[in-house]
Chains A and B, each alone.
Chain A
Amino acid sequence: MLWYIVRRIVYLIPTLLIVSIIAFVVIQLPPGDFLASLISKAEETVDQAQVDALRERYGLDEPIYVQYWKWISGIVTKGDFGRSFEWDKDVSDLIWERLGLTVVISLLTLAFIWIVAIPIGIYSAVKKYTIGDYVVTVIGFIGLAIPNFLLALVLMYIAFRYFGQSVGGLFSPEYIVADWSIDRVLDLLSHIWLPVVILGTAGTAALIRVMRANLLDELSKLYVDAARARGLSELKLLFKYPVRVALNPLVSAVAWVFPALVSGSAITSIVLNLQTTGPLLYRSLQSQDMYLAGSLILLVSVLTIIGTLVSDILLAWIDPRIQLQ
């Protein structure tokens, strides 16, 4: 097992190298560069000499492989991800600043989805084709069909109009720049439920369907009948056998959670004005802020690979049929 993990981590190095090259090239593919997009947005005409000076300072006039080499060697040797042109800050500072809240929101959303969806999915499968199942199914499809950002707008309106809550962002105005304190945490908690519910709705709806389908498959299996024929009660039977087996595929979905931490739900986060990494990535791609965008994509890739590894290990742990070697 340990050997397997070590080997997977070693494989990670060439994968990441290739991903970083592709990410960097793709970011450079659109015509122009950060300065060009800056100039195009500027209202006054910009002095060409000044632009050239900036271009030289940022190294934008050098060939792409030189730029790439500077960037990647900085990361490997000094942990320096380069500098964001747009924010005029170190990329690593920018990402770390937002990563904390991103992780908190994502994990809460995940917990919300699982806690809500799994019991409903089980209910829906066990009570197949009853009124309860139909109600849950309809709500589920509505949840799947409504775009998150639209739900965000509607819920924000309701929260503001009827409950007088300050919406958008994760803090009330007075706490935005305040130091961490009990009050600030409470304020955060009173705001965070809205994005968690909004971000979790589609996921919950999808997971209900997945759980229902998985469980329906398992409920008709012979080993369930065999366990029933041993005299096990319906409830114990349900949780010990079919639910247990039906949960396996959900564990493999853990792999998707990690990359979604960074890049997921950018549009909803913009609508909700959340200080997470999603909107940061979106902006950096728009303005061709290449070191920031490249670093974020690299981060997403690392997390994808780690997520896959984690879910492989989890699956091997819970499902004896899977052997790691």
Chain B
Amino acid sequence: MQPTHTRLDDPAKTDSQTLLDVKDLKTHFFTDEGVVKAVDGVNLSLKRGETLCVVGESGCGKSVTARSILRIVPNPGQIVSGEINFQQRDGEAIDLARMNPKGREIRKIRGGEISMIFQEPMSSLSPVHTIGSQIMEAILLHLPVSRQEARKRAVSMLDLVGIPRPSEQLDAYSFELSGGMRQRAMIAIALACEPQLLIADEPTTALDVTTQANILDLIRDLQQDSGMAVLFITHDLGVVAEIADEVVVMYLGRDVESGDVDAIFHDAKHPYTRALLQSIPRYDSRENRRLYSIKGTVPHPFARPHGCPFHPRCDDFIAERCNSIDPPRHKLSQSHSVRCLLYSAADEAPPKEDALS
């Protein structure tokens, strides 16, 4: 399928501002007990230099979406359908979903064009290799430099991410660094080859609050300097408010609502998004008021509800409709879309996906 975002001045390529365009991505896990539809129709698009936040509860498929983009979904997970269109540095658009996950092409993308940092800096560095050896590995894989130049670059990367005494720390092992320093080292590795896109999979979740703020500031500063785009995965709406340009809210492997950060925070449409926003504790709330929480829990992966996957927990549930009709993506404005029957109620027969995007 050809990319649909076209412009008159450049009809052959996707919108030159769009770096990543994920369409109806489905990543399923084929286990002995059955198929787990971890990601079941996600759409997201990210422009150059922008920050897109993916939010949702644990188990809604955020991480699997991120891993699908880099094609590092663990076994027995597989991308079953969808497109991951990525615009390479040379201007050529490619569909990452079609690539061989062990092939040479995707390996050039990984670390070179798209980098990733993970949730636990404690375990994402090798316990028996120095920080330097891992940074230099990334540099030597993607850039045509000698070992010495790679070492120099590694030192300057450590300096860039704010690790003190970088030339000494280059020969440090991960267990000799604190959690915050390890995440800085991970960022240094990820950015060593100046990727166009950084995927950050809950990079601050395992860190204490002060360190979280430092790491967020660091990512933002580096983004401003380099102009890279950031796909930021988190369940922390405070973080989203702070850094996001665009937001995608996920529930059970779907994007239920997406829009720019203002639309999501001030004009949220989907009951799930609204519920998430209401669940944030506020310091100015009246005393003795119970904190709102969404009723029920995320359903078991094998017991996916019919119709809208959120309907059993939804306050605005419409009987006979929500439990039978799978809500299509409904476009509220240029940038704001929602999957909810409250907004596409007018048309009885849900229109086809393609017509909407």
Contact = CB atoms under 8 A, between A and B. Distances in A.
Check if A and B associate. Answer: yes
Interface of A: 220-223, 225-234, 240-241, 244-245, 248, 318-321
B128 A319 contact: yes
Quick one: which of B67, B134, B175 has the most chain A CB within 10 A?
B134
B102 interface: yes
B196 to A, nearest CB: 14
B111 A229 contact: yes
Interface in B229-244: none
A222 B120 CA distance: 8
Contacts of B109: 231
B110 A225 contact: no
A100 B96 CA distance: 61
B123 A223 contact: yes
B138 A245 contact: no
Contact of B125 (A226, A233, A318): A226
B123 to A, nearest CB: 4
A225 B141 contact: no
A233 B175 CA distance: 25
Contacts of A225: 67, 72, 74, 118, 124
Contacts of A227: 126, 134, 137
Given A225-B72, A225-B118, A321-B173, A231 B112 contact: yes
B137 A230 contact: yes
Contacts of A320: 128, 130, 173, 175
A231 to B, nearest CB: 4
Interface string B142-178: 1000000000000000000000000000000101000
Interface of B: 67, 70, 72, 74, 102, 107-112, 115-116, 118-120, 123-130, 134, 137-138, 141-142, 173, 175, 186, 189
A228 B72 contact: yes
A226 B124 contact: yes
A279 to B, nearest CB: 42
8 nearest interchain CB pairs? Answer: A231-B111, A230-B111, A231-B110, A226-B124, A222-B123, A229-B116, A222-B124, A231-B107
10 contacts: A221-B123, A222-B120, A226-B125, A227-B126, A229-B111, A230-B111, A230-B141, A230-B189, A231-B141, A319-B128
B28 to A, nearest CB: 18
A182 to B, nearest CB: 45
Contacts of A226: 116, 118, 124-125, 186, 189
A220 B124 contact: no
A245 B129 CA distance: 10
Quick one: which of A220, A229, A233 has the most chain B CB within 10 A?
A229
Given A230-B111, A321-B175, A223 B74 contact: no
Given A222-B120, A226-B118, A231 B108 contact: yes
B128 A244 contact: yes
B110 A229 contact: yes
Nearest to B192: A230
A221 B128 CA distance: 13
Contact of B102 (A222, A234, A248, A318): A234
Contacts of A233: 102, 107
Contacts of B129: 240-241
B192 to A, nearest CB: 9
Contacts of A241: 126, 129
A234 B100 CA distance: 12
A179 to B, nearest CB: 49
Contacts of A245: 126-128
B102 A231 contact: no
B70 A229 contact: yes
Nearest to B115: A229
A228 B103 CA distance: 12
A158 B129 CA distance: 49
A321 B141 CA distance: 27
A231 B138 CA distance: 7
Nearest to B138: A230
A125 B146 CA distance: 35
A243 to B, nearest CB: 11
A95 B237 CA distance: 75
A321 B127 contact: yes
B241 to A, nearest CB: 28
Contacts of A318: 128
B132 to A, nearest CB: 13
Contacts of B116: 226, 229
Contacts of B102: 233-234
Contacts of B189: 226, 230
Contact of A223 (B72, B124, B138): B124
Contacts of A230: 110-111, 115, 134, 137-138, 141, 189
